[in-house]
Amino acid sequence: MAAKRKRGALPAGKAKRARSARSAPSAGEAAPEGGPRERSIPPQESSVPPQEYSIPPPVSQGKWKNKERVLIFSSRGISFRTRHLMQDLRTLMPHSKADTKMDRKDQLFVINEVCEMKNCNKCIFFEAKKKQDLYMWLSNTPQGPSAKFLVQNVHTLAELKMTGNCLRGSRPLLSFDPIFDREPHYALLKELFIQIFSTPQYHPKSQPFVDHVFTFTVTDERIWFRNYQIIEEDASLVEIGPRFVLNLIKIFQGSFGGPTLYENPHYQSPNMHRRLIRLSVAAKFREKQQVKEVQKIKKKGTKVLVEEDPTEVVFETPAEEKPVEIQLVKPESKPIIKDKKKLRKIQRKKQKKLFRTEG
């Protein structure tokens, strides 16, 4: 009975074959008995020098310590323009995260739990009302503070068609108006903007380049947001987009609620603005109707009689009086003849009679 061979073992009397020619014996060594002696071939010298490959070090060798994550999402019922604006902000902010739309029936404090599940400590929430009004919440979850804005004059990246461009994931510079350092509520908003819109250093999805600027300017009691590209040649600025205007409503101590720290006295709600427009249109209509009624009353009123001017009779000349003639003889009645030919015959006969009497 044949013995069982182990796995990997060679049968008896057989040696392992050499894998390559390098394992062959050299010229000095003797060939095995019964086999031919092999001649060693010297290696050919190549004319091309050997290439040296150097791996460049990573651009960012630091450690990602500031782990700021921003959750950007919205409520249901937003328009296409708001959806595009939200997508543009996600593109410009590599440290942002997305989530599904929130139901309008849910309370706003639920967003704190959503941020906790998404491992985010900042939030930008877009709230739509009446399918025409857009509100933006900026919050530091879960402790606060938070600010509520009315978003106006929204223009997206695809809509503006600006000539500027920037690298995807690059870090932006933040430029603020000098008024942000003078007013206390603007100083609080400045710190909130810095923590939300600035890209953390050494973020995995970010690039270690600075090629665009976020500007926050206060004009007409509103905050104007612009995004510009920095051109390296002459350090000039070219607008990229998106652009929008933030009208501050309130600043709260907590996240999406709590005691009110500041309320904007210059804020006017969109409902009040539309109501004033309707009232102004109605006032113009009523004014026109009153003018028409006054004109009708003037037409119906009695005309004022002007006294006679005695000088008007100076240039009037009296007509000559003709003597009154009294006709004593009754005029002859003319025969009524309907046929014109008979009338002509009668006239001719009368003329012939007159000629005969005269002759």
Q: Does pLDDT of 224 surpass 50?
A: yes
| Length, in residues, of the chain | 359
More confident: 57 or 161 = 161
- The amino acid at 242: P
* Alpha-carbon gap, residue 91 to 211, rounded angstroms: 15
Place of tokens 């939200």: 86
Cα separation values, 47 from 44, 50, 52, 353, Å = 10, 9, 15, 158
Q: Does pLDDT of 6 surpass 70?
A: no
Mean pLDDT of 105-120: 91
**Lowest-confidence region among 90-104, 218-232, 316-330:** 316-330
Backbone angles phi and psi of 134, in degrees to 5: -120, 130
Q: What is the mean pLDDT of the chain?
A: 83
Mean pLDDT of 7-26: 49
Q: What is the pLDDT of residue 123?
A: 96
pLDDT in tens, 127-156: 999 888 999 999 998 898 999 999 999 999
pLDDT in tens, 46-63: 455 566 767 665 555 678
**Lowest-confidence region among 76-80, 109-113, 116-120, 308-312:** 308-312
Contact 211, 170 (CB under 8 A): yes
Largest CA distance in the chain: 192
Q: What is the pLDDT of residue 61?
A: 65
Q: What is the pLDDT of residue 311?
A: 84
Token pair of 79, please?
């328009």
**Lowest-confidence region among 29-38, 94-103, 204-213:** 29-38
Q: Does pLDDT of 36 surpass 70?
A: no
Mean pLDDT of 9-23: 49
Mean pLDDT of 327-341: 74
Residue 342, classified by CB atoms within 10 Å of its CB into exposed (0-12), middle (13-18) or buried (19+), is exposed
List Cβ neighbours of 76 (8 Å cut-off, separation of 6 or more).
Answer: 101, 102, 103, 104, 128
pLDDT band at 160 (very low <50, low <70, confident <90, very high): confident
* Alpha-carbon gap, residue 142 to 164, rounded angstroms: 37
Percent pLDDT > 90 in the chain is: 49
Token pair of 155, please?
């223009």
Q: What is the pLDDT of residue 355?
A: 80
Based on its alpha-carbon atoms, the radius of gyration of the chain, rounded to whole angstroms, reads 53
Would you call the peptide bond into 178 cis, given omega within 30 degrees of 0 as the criterion? no
Q: What is the pLDDT of residue 34?
A: 45
pLDDT band at 82 (very low <50, low <70, confident <90, very high): very high
- What is the separation of C-alpha 37 from the centre of its chain, rounded to a whole number of angstroms? 86
Mean pLDDT of 96-102: 93
pLDDT band at 271 (very low <50, low <70, confident <90, very high): very high
CATH of domain 70-272: 3.40.50.10480
Q: What is the pLDDT of residue 234?
A: 81
Q: Does pLDDT of 20 surpass 50?
A: no
Q: Is the dihedral of CA 199, 204, 206, 210 positive or negative?
A: positive
Q: What is the pLDDT of residue 11?
A: 53
Q: What is the pLDDT of residue 39?
A: 47
Place of tokens 């025409």: 132
| Domain boundaries of the chain, sorted by first residue | 70-272
Q: What is the pLDDT of residue 201?
A: 87
Mean pLDDT of 259-281: 94
Beta strands in the chain (DSSP E): 70-74, 96-98, 122-129, 133-140, 146-155, 170-176, 207-219, 222-230, 237-239, 243-254, 257-263
Mean pLDDT of 95-116: 91
Mean pLDDT of 10-26: 48
Mean pLDDT of 25-30: 44
Q: Is the dihedral of CA 114, 116, 119, 120 positive or negative?
A: positive
